[in-house]
Amino acid sequence: MPTHPQEPDRTATDPGARAPEGTGPAPRGDLPQPGPPRPEAADGGPGPDAAGPAPAEDEYTTAIQELEDRWRRALADLDNLRKRHARELERERAVERSRTAAAFLPVLDNLELALTHAGADPGAIVEGVRAVRDQAANVLELLGYPRHAESGVAFDPARHEVVGVVQDPDAAPGTVVEVLRPGYGDGERQLRPAAVTVAKRE
């Protein structure tokens, strides 16, 4: 019985021949393998995963310039406010000084009148000077500085300044015996305390 010669395996020598499925060599691990397709944007450009350009530096520069401009404007507004406040404060001080000086003008007028009649009755001069004194004290009281010259009251360190301690059997210990210099004002608006002598404590 005739036999046919066995055909050689073409897959070993013919590069164009396909090997049967499942029999080809396994892919090498060091060769690049194809990955999934990269997503594309709706307009056909690269998708969000594609490497894009870095953020533009001019945007940061513009933001910094805007902040610097706002900072400079705030400093200018603050300086203008400070200068305006200083001008208003000086104007208020000038107005207050003028008002205070005008309040004392009648006192000076009465002193001038008393000096004009210096050769008249001495008793009248004394009465005139006392009236001028009362008028000046009234002006200070209207300005917020009442006069304090009371004797026989309890010593108050906030209103009195002790310049002497005396022995007075008719005065209770620790009370004001004599006012040597009147005081004006109270509390934070005190011009000066009254200088007094105080009865000695036993």
pLDDT per position as a tens digit, 107-158: 988 888 887 876 777 777 788 888 899 999 999 999 899 999 999 999 999 9
* Average pLDDT for 50-74: 80
* C-alpha of 128 from chain center: 53
Proportion of the chain above pLDDT 70, given as a percent:
71
Q: Which residues are registered as beta bridge partners of 86?
A: none
Q: pTM higher than 0.75 for the full model?
A: no
185 has a pLDDT exceeding 50: yes
196 has a pLDDT exceeding 50: yes
Alpha-carbon gap, residue 159 to 192, rounded angstroms: 8
